[in-house]
Amino acid sequence: MRTNIVLDDKLVDEGLKLSGLKTKRELVSTALQEFVQSRKRKNMMDLYGSNGLDPDYDYKKLRIGEE
């Protein structure tokens, strides 16, 4: 999809330097991909409850190779 947007020049320059990308198009595409990926990641606290740990998790079994 082709569109015109106004970008902060200083922010674009900093993004190009940090990323090593060559074009604004690559920078915007990469930034959008990273944004979408970060929003799709689940919060670890949501995965195991409010205390952040799975109540059935047994690290000692993992150390000795049991499942």
Nearest residue to 66 via CA among 57, 1, 16: 57
pTM for the complete prediction? 0.61
67: pLDDT strictly greater than 60:
no
Q: Are 27 and 19 in contact (CB under 8 A)?
A: yes
Average pLDDT over residues 27-39: 92
Residue 35 identity (one-letter amino acid): F
Task: Specify the range with the lowest mean pLDDT, choosing from 18-22, 29-33, 39-43.
Answer: 39-43
Q: What CA–CA distance (Å, rounded) separates 24 from 38?
A: 21
Q: Please tell me the total number of residues recorded for the chain in this structure.
A: 67
